[in-house]
Chains A and B, each alone.
Chain A
Amino acid sequence: MAHDAVGGGEHTGHAGMGHGAMDMAPAGIPLASGAEDRDGLELDVLHARLGPVLAHWPSGLVLRCTLQGDVIVDAEARLIDAGPSAPNPRISSRHLFVARRCDNAAGLLALAGFDDAASHARRVRDAVLKAGGTAHASRQLYRLRRMVRRSWLLRWSLRRVGPLTERDLARWHLPEHLRGDVRDRLLSMLDRAAQGLAQADGQSTHDQPAVLIEAVADLVRGWDLAAARLIVASLDLEALTADREVSRV
Chain B
Amino acid sequence: MSDPSVRVVAPLWVLAAAGLLGLLVLAAAVLDGALSARAAGADVRTGLTRPIGEVARLMRQRRRVTVAADTLLWRVGGAGLLVMAMMIVTVVPLGDWTLFDLDVGVVWFNAMDVLAWAFVWLTGWGANSAYSLVGGYRFLAHGLGYELPLMFALVAPAVAASSLNVGTIAAAQQGLWFVVWMPVAFLVFCMGVLAIAVWGPFSPALGPDVAGGVSVELSGVDRLLFLSGRYALLAAGAAFAVPMFLGGGAGPLLPAWVWVLVKTLALLAVFVWLRRHLPAARPDLFMEVGWVVLLPAVLLQDLLVAGIALGRS
A-side residues, CB < 8 A to B, are: 26-29, 46, 48, 54-56, 67, 69-70, 109-116, 119-120, 122-123, 126, 151, 153-154, 156-157, 224-227, 229-230
Interface flags for B255-281 (1: CB within 8 Å of A; 0: not) read 000000000000000000001111111
Does A112 lie within 8 Å of B279, measured CB to CB?
yes
Interface positions, chain B 129-158, Cβ under 8 Å from A, are 130, 134, 137-138
Interface positions, chain B 43-83, Cβ under 8 Å from A, are 67-68
Q: How far is the CA of A67 from the CA of B130 in the complex (A)?
A: 10
Q: Does B4 contact A (CB under 8 A)?
A: no
Residues from chain B with a CB closer than 8 A to the CB of A116 are: 39, 276-277
Cβ contact of B134, chosen from A70, A119, A230, cutoff 8 A:
A70
Q: Could you tell me the distance in whole angstroms from the C-beta of B116 to the nearest C-beta in chain A? A: 19
Residues from chain A with a CB closer than 8 A to the CB of B280 are: 112-114, 157
Does A123 lie within 8 Å of B40, measured CB to CB?
yes
Interface size range on B against A: 20 to 34
Residues from chain A with a CB closer than 8 A to the CB of B201 are: 113, 153
Q: Could you tell me the distance in whole angstroms from the C-beta of A227 to the nearest C-beta in chain B? A: 8
Does A26 lie within 8 Å of B68, measured CB to CB?
yes
Q: Does B41 contact A (CB under 8 A)?
A: yes
A157-B211 in contact given A113-B280, A123-B41 (Cβ < 8 Å) = no
A28-B67 in contact given A120-B39, A226-B209 (Cβ < 8 Å) = yes
Q: Does B7 contact A (CB under 8 A)?
A: no
Does B282 lie within 8 Å of A157, measured CB to CB?
yes
Q: Could you tell me the distance in whole angstroms from the C-beta of A54 to the nearest C-beta in chain B? A: 7
Q: Which DSSP category, helix, strand, loop or mixed, fits chain A's interface?
A: helix
Going nearest first, the 3 A-B pairs with the smallest beta carbon separation are A113-B280, A27-B68, A229-B209
Does B208 lie within 8 Å of A122, measured CB to CB?
no
Does B68 lie within 8 Å of A230, measured CB to CB?
no
Does B211 lie within 8 Å of A70, measured CB to CB?
no
A111-B207 in contact given A151-B279, A156-B285, A157-B285 (Cβ < 8 Å) = yes
Q: Does B210 contact A (CB under 8 A)?
A: yes
Q: How far is the CA of A119 from the CA of B277 in the complex (A)?
A: 11
Q: How far is the CA of A122 from the CA of B41 in the complex (A)?
A: 10
Given contacts A114-B280, A225-B210, A226-B207, could you give 17 more A-B pairs where the C-beta distance is less than 8 Å? A27-B68, A55-B208, A109-B279, A110-B208, A111-B208, A111-B209, A114-B279, A115-B36, A119-B39, A119-B276, A153-B201, A157-B279, A157-B285, A225-B209, A226-B209, A227-B282, A229-B209
Q: How far is the CA of A120 from the CA of B41 in the complex (A)?
A: 9
Q: Could you tell me the distance in whole angstroms from the C-beta of A216 to the nearest C-beta in chain B? A: 16
Q: How far is the CA of A230 from the CA of B285 in the complex (A)?
A: 15
Residues from chain B with a CB closer than 8 A to the CB of A70 are: 134, 137-138
Q: How far is the CA of A119 from the CA of B37 in the complex (A)?
A: 9
Residues from chain B with a CB closer than 8 A to the CB of A46 are: 130
Q: How far is the CA of A230 from the CA of B210 in the complex (A)?
A: 12
Residues from chain B with a CB closer than 8 A to the CB of A110 are: 208
Q: Could you tell me the distance in whole angstroms from the C-beta of A62 to the nearest C-beta in chain B? A: 15
Cβ contact of B40, chosen from A113, A122, A156, A230, cutoff 8 A:
A122
Q: In the complex, what residue of chain B is closest to A159 when comparing beta carbons?
A: B285
Q: Does B203 contact A (CB under 8 A)?
A: yes
Does B279 lie within 8 Å of A113, measured CB to CB?
yes
Q: Could you tell me the distance in whole angstroms from the C-beta of A98 to the nearest C-beta in chain B? A: 18
Residues from chain B with a CB closer than 8 A to the CB of A227 are: 282
Q: How far is the CA of A227 from the CA of B208 in the complex (A)?
A: 13
Q: How far is the CA of A200 from the CA of B204 in the complex (A)?
A: 41
Does A157 lie within 8 Å of B281, measured CB to CB?
yes
Q: How far is the CA of A2 from the CA of B88 in the complex (A)?
A: 50
Interface positions, chain B 2-60, Cβ under 8 Å from A, are 36, 39-41
Interface centre among A26, A115, A126 (most CB of B within 10 A): A115
Residues from chain A with a CB closer than 8 A to the CB of B204 are: 113, 226
Q: Could you tell me the distance in whole angstroms from the C-beta of B58 to the nearest C-beta in chain A? A: 20
Q: In the complex, what residue of chain B is closest to A156 when comparing beta carbons?
A: B285
Does B209 lie within 8 Å of A29, measured CB to CB?
no
Interface centre among B208, B209, B211, B282 (most CB of A within 10 A): B209
Q: In the complex, what residue of chain A is closest to B202 when comparing beta carbons?
A: A113
Can you list 30 residue pairs at the A/B interface with Cβ under 8 Å?
A27-B67, A54-B211, A55-B211, A56-B209, A109-B279, A111-B209, A112-B279, A112-B280, A113-B201, A113-B204, A113-B280, A114-B278, A114-B279, A114-B280, A115-B275, A116-B39, A116-B276, A119-B39, A119-B276, A120-B39, A126-B41, A151-B279, A153-B201, A153-B278, A153-B279, A153-B281, A225-B210, A226-B204, A226-B209, A230-B209
Q: In the complex, what residue of chain B is closest to A55 when comparing beta carbons?
A: B208
Residues from chain B with a CB closer than 8 A to the CB of A112 are: 279-280
Q: How far is the CA of A112 from the CA of B277 in the complex (A)?
A: 12
Q: How far is the CA of A29 from the CA of B36 in the complex (A)?
A: 40
Q: How far is the CA of A26 from the CA of B275 in the complex (A)?
A: 40
Q: How far is the CA of A27 from the CA of B66 in the complex (A)?
A: 11
Q: How far is the CA of A151 from the CA of B279 in the complex (A)?
A: 9
Residues from chain A with a CB closer than 8 A to the CB of B137 are: 69-70
Q: In the complex, what residue of chain B is closest to A46 when comparing beta carbons?
A: B130
Residues from chain A with a CB closer than 8 A to the CB of B207 are: 111, 113, 226
